[in-house]
Amino acid sequence: MSDGLDDVVAAHTVLSEVDGAAGRLVIRGHSLAELAGRASFEEMAALMFDGLLPGLPQRRDLTAALGQARADLFGIVERTALSDDLGPVEAIRAWTAQIADGEGPDTALKLLAAPAVFTAAAVRKRRGLAPIAPDPALSQAVDTLRMLRGETPTAAQAAALDTYLVTVADHGLNASTFAARVVASTRAGLVSAVLAGISALKGPLHGGAPGPVIEMLDAIGEPANARAWLEEALGRGERLMGFGHRIYRVRDPRADALKQAIAKLGADAGRLRHAEAVEQAALAILRERKPGRSLETNVEFYTALLLEALGFPPEAFTCVFALGRTTGWLAHAREQIETGRLIRPQSVYVGPQPRQAA
């Protein structure tokens, strides 16, 4: 038995490979460096789905088809009232659950479009603002930012969001992708698989980490406070958000892809310098406290800075992660349906046996 399934291989996949020793991510035969900053969300989705979902529009037509899917989904926001105290992740999960389940290209298209519409609407509703209807003529990245902020983003902002969405599109058999594959293996449908993915993603050990990264940066305030603050957090038994990884024993290559995107965006230089100082302090302390464990910066640290610079509030960061990762969840779910069997591992019972009848 392996606690946490570290050494268990649960799927053969043509989708992505994570080399934790070399710090290398390959997606469908391309290195992350070839894709991040070059491909759009739509191009990445077409690459991921190639051959897995016949009937899904290819590259050129996918932008228009996704735009139409976003427009169609806005009705769900308009007619489904949600409680005001739901957080953005709970809101996108509740609205996504309104999509009819299935395994075909139409369902996949709606699910790809859904987090864009639902994230922007959830954020605006929490701010007491009316949701903005999608513009089907725009790309997913441009429309997401427009629906969030009410103004057309600059080309640099849209490119930064595309870079983020491509960077997090797929990452081997991470917890949320595994959850999506388990549900798909029961033939429950793609909506159910994506809902499982969102639910697994929201935890702070997985995609819920970047919001707390912002809290940490703000609480530290000045770089000079970093060491004492971080030491205290570790002393309380807390983990430092944005550091460590189950697979990587070196720096997560996605961290650098996102750091480059922040630099290109020309975001607040002071904020970036503060974050770099906190990062260096955290790495030094983790090396002292956990020698030999190789706890390095992971994707979530610079995710927090990039999404903050684009105007997303911290409580919605996980929704934006879901927007990128839905591509991976859907591709893995389809791969599981086509090539896999029901996923049903075993457990070893260690509880008491019934008492023998006298």
C-beta contacts of 342-348 below 8 A and 24+ residues apart: 342/185, 342/186, 343/10, 343/181, 343/182, 343/185, 348/1
Give contact residues for ligand CMC (rule: CB under 6 A). Answer: 4, 171, 174, 204-207, 209, 239-246, 290, 293, 295, 298-300
Which lies closer to ligand CMC via its Cβ, residue 157 or residue 303?
303
Tell me the torsion sign for CA atoms 63, 87, 84, 94. positive
* Closest to 161 in 3D by CA, of 45, 288, 307, 302: 307
Q: What 8-state DSSP symbol labels residue 169?
A: S
Beta strands in the chain (DSSP E): 16-19, 24-27, 30-31
Q: Which residues are catalytic?
A: 245, 300
Phi, psi of 273 (to 5 degrees): -65, -40
**Cα angle: 87, vertex 92, 93; to 5 degrees:** 95
Least Å from the CB of residue 233 to ligand CMC: 8
Least Å from the CB of residue 284 to ligand CMC: 13
Q: What number of residues does the chain have?
A: 358
Least Å from the CB of residue 302 to ligand CMC: 11
Least Å from the CB of residue 242 to ligand CMC: 5
Which lies closer to ligand CMC via its Cβ, residue 113 or residue 179?
179
Which lies closer to ligand CMC via its Cβ, residue 42 or residue 300?
300
Q: Alpha-carbon distance 182 to 342, whole Å?
A: 7
> Which residue's Cβ has the minimum distance to ligand CMC?
244
Least Å from the CB of residue 294 to ligand CMC: 9
Contacts of 10 (CB under 8 A, 6+ apart): 173, 178, 181, 343
Which lies closer to ligand CMC via its Cβ, residue 159 or residue 216?
216
- Residue 252, both tokens: 């997560």
Least Å from the CB of residue 190 to ligand CMC: 21
Which lies closer to ligand CMC via its Cβ, residue 25 or residue 132?
25
Q: Alpha-carbon distance 210 to 302, whole Å?
A: 8
Which lies closer to ligand CMC via its Cβ, residue 63 or residue 167?
167
Q: Alpha-carbon distance 350 to 352, whole Å?
A: 7
